[in-house]
Amino acid sequence: MSSSWNVQANGKKARAGNRSDAIIIPSPVINYARPNLHVGTGLSAGPADIWNPDKGFLVQSINPESYSLNFPTTGAHNLYFDLLISGVDINELTWEPVTLGGITATVTNVVANDRWIPQEDKGEVVVRVKLTGPEARNQWYNPHPNPIAMPQLPQTFELVGRDKDGYEVVKYGFELRQWFFLRAGDFSRYDMYYSNQLAWCNGLGYRMPRVNDLTNAMCSDYTDFACMNGAHGATPSSRGNWYMRYIGAGFFTEWGHVGYYADANFYDDPSYINFAYWTSDESGYDGHFVVTSNTPILIGNVFAISADGRTAVVCTAP
């Protein structure tokens, strides 16, 4: 559902009867929520009413009762996205941070120069939303970690932009339903076998994700992602063994190439152990499916490795 026709907050139109010289004041509107756009074209592009490869996710609802239709539904510490707003000078808006269930959404104005920003949009000032919450950086090298805080989800966030007089001008809402964090650092300092990574997530009070927590890739007996043992991607599914950008269809499906987000600690490195993440879905022959996140062409594709293989992990809750 395109949001270009949605009048948000208190935009007004001033008219002088039916005179031809009537003055029309454009209404402030949030058109897109823009995460990393990389790997969001061609086979990986979502439907046109959900995803614009040059702008991001279209706003699906301005109704608080259906904020759950908007991006994002998943999150991780220090991930961020931009709100592309028209009809108002964003430099005149102020936003209060919102904290719910142990997760905070903070809004600031930034100059957008990330590597995924289209050339025509580079250098523009945009409204950026940054998520912060539980993470386990100080326990990456601890094989027997202590439990960390558990976010209370789902939570519905409403971010309100106000003018200098404190009046509401524009707002954006979304429902976070799932939280992730990475085990990163120097991989030579801890074992990356399946059993070790599983124990690490569980020790923190979290679980290892399933395939459908990460991607909406479609399983097939003719690809590396065989349909077996109940393993499947999220729905709606893509047309093959890769993700299709969509809201609510997996962590990588929503956020794209997570290695590109500054300070989020995900690796921007296509080497084997850095670009695929364990899942708890069994692939047979004492193996498990893993999901890619940092490949340069396709992301969210799935293949199997043996349990004594070595690769990275993201933990999740609930």
pLDDT at 231: 96
The answer to whether 131 and 155 have CB atoms below 8 angstroms apart is: no
pLDDT at 9: 44
Q: Where are the domains of the chain?
A: 29-178, 180-317
pLDDT at 64: 97
As a whole number of angstroms, the distance between CA 9 and CA 158 comes to 12
Question: Which residue, 168, 32, 33, 28, is CA-closest to 94?
Answer: 168
Q: What stretch of H or E contains 272?
A: helix 272-275
pLDDT at 265: 86
pLDDT at 5: 33
Place of tokens 């990389």: 38
The answer to whether 301 and 225 have CB atoms below 8 angstroms apart is: yes
pLDDT at 25: 59
DSSP3 helix / strand / coil % (the chain, rounded to 5)? 15, 30, 55
pLDDT at 266: 86
Structure tokens at 301: 């594709």
What is each CA distance from 237 to 2, 44, 249, in whole angstroms?
A: 21, 11, 8
Q: One digit per residue, pLDDT tens: the chain, 318 residues?
A: 444 334 354 433 333 444 445 555 568 999 999 999 999 999 999 999 999 999 999 999 999 999 999 999 999 999 999 999 999 999 999 999 999 999 999 999 999 999 999 999 999 999 999 999 999 999 999 999 999 999 999 999 999 999 999 999 999 999 999 999 999 888 889 999 999 999 999 999 999 999 999 999 999 988 999 999 999 999 999 999 999 999 999 999 999 999 899 999 887 665 544 578 999 999 987 899 999 987 766 799 999 999 999 999 999 999
Provide the strand spans (E) within the chain: 29-34, 51-52, 56-58, 74-76, 80-86, 94-95, 98-100, 103-111, 125-132, 155-162, 168-176, 178-183, 276-284, 287-292, 302-306, 313-317
Phi-psi region of 229 (alpha: psi -120 to 50; beta: other; left: phi over 0): left
pLDDT at 269: 62
3-state SS, residue 213: helix
pLDDT at 2: 41
Place of tokens 């600031």: 108
As a whole number of angstroms, the distance between CA 92 and CA 106 comes to 17
Planar angle of CA 167, 159, 235, nearest 5 degrees: 145
Structure tokens at 36: 């990393």
- For residue 90, give every residue at least 6 positions away whose Cβ sits within 8 Å of its Cβ, in sequence order, or none: 109, 125, 126, 127, 161
